[in-house]
Amino acid sequence: MKKVLLLLCLAVGMAQVSVAQIKLPGASDVLKNFIAPPSFTDAGKTASGIADLLGSKLSLSGDQKKSTLDAVTGFLGQKKDILGLAKSNPADYLKKFNPLQQGLFGKLKTILGAAKFANFLKLKPTGNGAGNLLSNLFF
């Protein structure tokens, strides 16, 4: 009986040790590659510039361009409400930004089709350069 109890305690102890060694991603891991988003003052004007840029780079039809403009305008309007968090609390910014971006990208995939959406993703800038309007969609 003592041996069974000892083996049981040993098994439970080993299970606790192995669980303790699992490392979940923490806030520092998520923020390690954080790129601060560019700021903008007029969501409509910025969205219009983005729609024009995507229209020319992806050869969008008139309907695709208008639908893209509507989707980007809505996205930027929502993003503008959380931009302040990027400086004060980047982790909270990302928690709110990621679902917004996923929603936009889902709409764009429907609007553009799979092939043009794949080409859109290839346009992702490497940083948030203020001169690159598309940074507003990715950061």
- The answer to whether position 115 is within a domain reads yes
Q: Which whole number is the average pLDDT over 77-96?
A: 92
What's the pTM value of the predicted model, to 2 decimals?
0.73
**Looking at the domain assignment, is residue 68 inside a domain?**
yes
Domain assignment present for residue 1? The answer is: no
Domain assignment present for residue 41? The answer is no
Nearest to 127 by CA among 45, 1, 63, 34: 34
Higher pLDDT, 108 or 133: 108
> What pLDDT is attached to residue 42?
87
The residue segments making up the domain with residue 87 are 63-139
Locate the DSSP E strands across 1-139. Answer: none
Residue 37 within any structural domain of the chain? no
Q: Is residue 43 part of a domain?
A: no
Query: CA 139, CA 130: separation in Å to the nearest integer?
Result: 11
Residue 123 lies in a domain: yes
Burial class (CB in 10 A: 0-12, 13-18, 19+), 108: buried
Tell me, yes or no, whether 28 lies in a domain: no
Q: Is 52 exposed, middle or buried (0-12, 13-18, 19+ CB in 10 A)?
A: middle
More confident residue, 65 or 32: 65
Q: How far apart are the first and last CA of the chain?
A: 62
Q: What's the number of domains the chain is made of?
A: 1
CB atoms within 10 A of CB 135: 20
